[in-house]
């Protein structure tokens, strides 16, 4: 029998002895020996910090983003091979799609975040803070990669997605990872890690794999390290409370299984599209991944006068579920991940039977297709009914981690929210309603106890990702029982792996540190017009000082005619009584347009196009007779990759536009975004 290996210290290796034999969840056959015994975790973590961390920190956010994109493209090309391995975890093709392609999708999504970060190894956070009367002393914040390693302890149910959704974030931040999947399904994680290492896309040391039990993996964590744990709340809280985790201020993110709820809105009647949507969505959540999802619907809240209708429709759909080998025709639900999970599931089913009525399933004898029931880790969809969920409260405490859920009634929406919140914190709650006001009330009242709220109706159903699907650009986590952690979340997720530090100094100093022009910093006049310079030649702070223009009544009238903007303040001096204006005022957009005419060098040159405007403000009225000039300053530079061999090599340059009057006061501010050609394209 082969070994399911570890990848540590730059090599593939076996652990000492045998901690577990990973088995095929469908056939019960042994797949490989799993062990991480004997691994030197202190050396492994230090290897990640020194080897992987150093390499990642040298890369800019743009380079890290392109690295993730390259990895995602590589894995997409070979994704078919992972499906064959995934079947052995008990997953159907649809289950595997969520795990495999959902995981790769996380890489793509995080790669795209590079556009929200500077072309630096660190992040400049927010705006400057004025700290002195004359502007010679200011403050700012930067966020630098933590000089530690991310240790990801993952659950068994998503061997690929669970890894990729986490490492995509820490790699984007410039932090290396050590991944410890659940040993029972680690053979699938190992398969993907082998391909990632073979690709050579990631720097050595940025990803290590511990396939076995990993005992001792967090014994040597240090300040700057991050531990993420996905699994049972009880285990997670024990780890989180370890003295050395607390003493060394090690960041710990806990994402625990929770008693997620789905609510049928009080407005929904049988025959409405939303009624069918609700039944279909709940049925899908019970059977997808055989219910082994941290986001699965465990509690179903229904208006008390709709209980019979929902029970009848839901049991009819669940009864049609074909269970068996995911590769067999007609099979819609595979198995649990292991026999151990089957045993735990039935223990909890028996506990729930004591306080509520069993409506469907719960038995250990049923038909399977293409497999033998006794050899595989199979379970059947099970539905309970709890007619008094405020009295019989086991359902709000006991989780069956499998295809099991409980139907319960509520009197009004306030009571539905109360029931949903009795789960003591969840990863997700959903409501199906055709009334947006009901959706709003539920979302606002329930949000404090749920990490995500889905409001589903017929208008969004076709494109909805569903109750159970966390998305990479939104936060995933939840309060209370769900662990109080937060993963993914787009840019927010990346910031978890960065250390925010306040910096103080002269605007010139802060400009140098942030590589973004700061108000009050020096503005040396550019030796040649900035529109005549290539991307590499431009220097932050270099400024074009334009000629000046005196605004006239004719300018204002002409702009009103051309633009069609005849707002009274620009064209009717008799209508200004009671306003803040002293007379007819120039259009703000005229001032900006005139400024463009003043700062633009019209000849063909390195500037390819002007494609945007940010942070535009009109700060002082401009009246006829006032004279304006422009300070046009190189504010920030962001490199841009070529999309193809034929693409023009270029970068993004942000220019600060400061329009001022004859007194020197600023009348308008804006940031202009341009694409600028690089030198090698001339």
Phi-psi region of 361 (alpha: psi -120 to 50; beta: other; left: phi over 0): left
CB within 8 Å of 73: residues ≥ 6 apart: none
Q: Is 566 exposed, middle or buried (0-12, 13-18, 19+ CB in 10 A)?
A: exposed
Neighbours of 659 (CB within 10 A): 26
Cβ–Cβ < 8 Å for 205, 4: no
Indicate which residue of 255, 281, 285, 399 is catalytic.
255
Active site residue 616: no
Active site residue 294: yes
| Residue whose structure tokens are 């700062």 | 599
What is the C-alpha separation between 108 and 65, in angstroms, rounded? 9
What is the C-alpha separation between 415 and 266, in angstroms, rounded? 11
Tell me if residue 255 falls in helix, strand or coil: strand
Radius of gyration of the chain (CA): 30
Nearest to 171 by CA among 74, 252, 67: 67
What is the C-alpha separation between 540 and 656, in angstroms, rounded? 10
Indicate which residue of 294, 399, 400, 487 is catalytic.
294
Nearest to 288 by CA among 468, 163, 154: 468
E strands along 172-276, which residues? 177-180, 207-209, 226-231, 251-256, 260-264
What is the C-alpha separation between 452 and 294, in angstroms, rounded? 13
CB within 8 Å of 583: residues ≥ 6 apart: 573, 576, 623, 624
Q: Is 75 exposed, middle or buried (0-12, 13-18, 19+ CB in 10 A)?
A: buried
The two beta strands, 666-677 and 650-661, are antiparallel
Per DSSP, the residues of 309-349 read HHHHHHHHHHHT--BB-TTSTT--B---S-HHHHHHHHHHH
Side-chain half-sphere exposure of 480, counting CA atoms within 13 A? 20
- Cα-flanking dihedrals φ and ψ of residue 8, to 5°? -140, 150
Instruction: Return the sign of the alpha-carbon dihedral for residues 602, 606, 611, 616.
Output: negative
Helix axes 186-199, 161-173, angle to 10 degrees: 40
Q: Is 483 exposed, middle or buried (0-12, 13-18, 19+ CB in 10 A)?
A: buried
Which residue numbers are catalytic?
A: 255, 294
């Amino acid at each position: 029998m082969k070994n399911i290996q570890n990848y540590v210290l730059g090599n593939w290796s076996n652990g000492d002895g045998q901690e577990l034999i990973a088995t095929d969840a469908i056939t019960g056959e042994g797949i490989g020996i799993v062990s991480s015994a004997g691994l030197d975790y202190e050396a492994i973590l230090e290897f990640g910090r020194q080897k992987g961390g150093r390499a990642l920190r040298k890369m800019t956010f743009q380079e890290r983003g392109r690295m993730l994109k390259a990895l995602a493209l590589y894995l997409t090309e070979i994704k078919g091979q992972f499906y064959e391995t995934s079947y052995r975890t008990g997953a159907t093709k649809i289950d595997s799609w969520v795990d495999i392609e959902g995981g790769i999708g996380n890489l793509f999504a995080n790669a795209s975040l590079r556009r929200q970060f500077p072309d630096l190894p660190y992040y400049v956070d927010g705006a400057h803070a004025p700290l002195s009367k004359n502007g010679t002393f200011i403050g700012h914040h930067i966020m630098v990669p933590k000089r530690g390693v991310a240790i990801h302890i993952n659950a068994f149910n998503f061997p690929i997605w669970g890894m990729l959704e986490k490492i995509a974030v820490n790699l984007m931040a410039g932090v290396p990872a050590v991944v410890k999947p659940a040993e029972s399904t680690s053979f699938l994680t190992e398969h993907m890690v082998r391909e990632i290492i073979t690709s050579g896309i990631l720097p050595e040391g940025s990803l290590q794999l511990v396939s076995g039990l990993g005992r001792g993996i967090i014994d040597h964590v240090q300040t700057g390290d991050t531990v993420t744990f996905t699994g049972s709340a009880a285990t997670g809280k024990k780890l989180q409370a370890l003295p050395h985790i607390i003493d060394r201020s090690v960041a710990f993110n806990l994402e625990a299984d929770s008693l997620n709820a789905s609510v049928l809105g009080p407005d929904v009647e049988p025959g409405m599209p939303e009624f069918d949507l609700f039944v279909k969505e709940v049925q899908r959540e019970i059977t997808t991944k055989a219910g082994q999802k941290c986001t699965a619907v465990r509690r179903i809240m229904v208006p008390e006068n709709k209980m019979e209708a929902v029970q009848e429709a839901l049991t009819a759909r669940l009864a049609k579920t074909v269970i068996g080998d995911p590769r067999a025709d007609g099979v819609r639900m595979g198995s649990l991940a292991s026999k151990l999970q089957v045993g735990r599931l039935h223990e909890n089913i028996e506990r729930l039977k004591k306080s509520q009525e069993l409506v469907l399933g719960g038995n250990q004898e049923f038909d399977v297709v293409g497999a033998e029931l006794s050899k595989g880790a199979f379970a059947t969809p099970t539905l309970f009914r709890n007619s008094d969920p405020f009295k019989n409260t086991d359902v709000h405490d006991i989780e069956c981690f499998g295809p099991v859920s409980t139907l319960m009634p509520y009197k009004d929406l306030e009571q539905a929210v109360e029931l949903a919140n009795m789960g003591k914190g969840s990863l997700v709650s959903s409501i199906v309603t055709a009334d947006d006001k009901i959706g709003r009330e539920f979302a606002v009242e329930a949000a404090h106890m749920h990490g995500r709220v889905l409001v589903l109706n017929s208008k969004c159903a076709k494109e909805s990702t569903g109750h159970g699907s966390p998305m990479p650009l939104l936060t995933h986590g939840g309060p209370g029982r769900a662990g109080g952690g937060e993963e993914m979340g787009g840019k927010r997720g990346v910031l978890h792996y960065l250390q925010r530090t306040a910096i103080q100094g002269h605007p010139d100093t802060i400009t140098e540190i942030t590589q973004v022009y700061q108000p009050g910093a020096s503005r040396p006049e550019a030796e040649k017009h900035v529109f005549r310079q290539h991307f590499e030649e431009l220097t932050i702070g270099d400024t074009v000082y334009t000629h000046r223009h005196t605004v006239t009544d004719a300018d204002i009238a002409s702009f009103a005619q051309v633009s069609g903007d005849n707002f009274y303040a620009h064209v009717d001096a008799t209508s200004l009584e009671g306003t803040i204006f002293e007379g007819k005022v120039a259009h703000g957009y005229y001032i900006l347009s005139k400024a463009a005419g003043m700062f633009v060098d019209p000849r063909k040159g390195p500037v390819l196009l002007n494609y945007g405007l940010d942070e535009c403000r009109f700060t002082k009225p401009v009246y006829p007779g006032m004279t304006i000039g422009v300070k046009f300053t190189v504010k920030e530079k962001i490199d841009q990759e070529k999309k193809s061999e034929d693409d023009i090599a270029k970068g993004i340059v942000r220019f600060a536009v400061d329009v001022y009057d004859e007194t020197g006061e600023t009348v308008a501010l804006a940031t202009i975004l341009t694409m600028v050609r690089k030198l090698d394209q001339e």
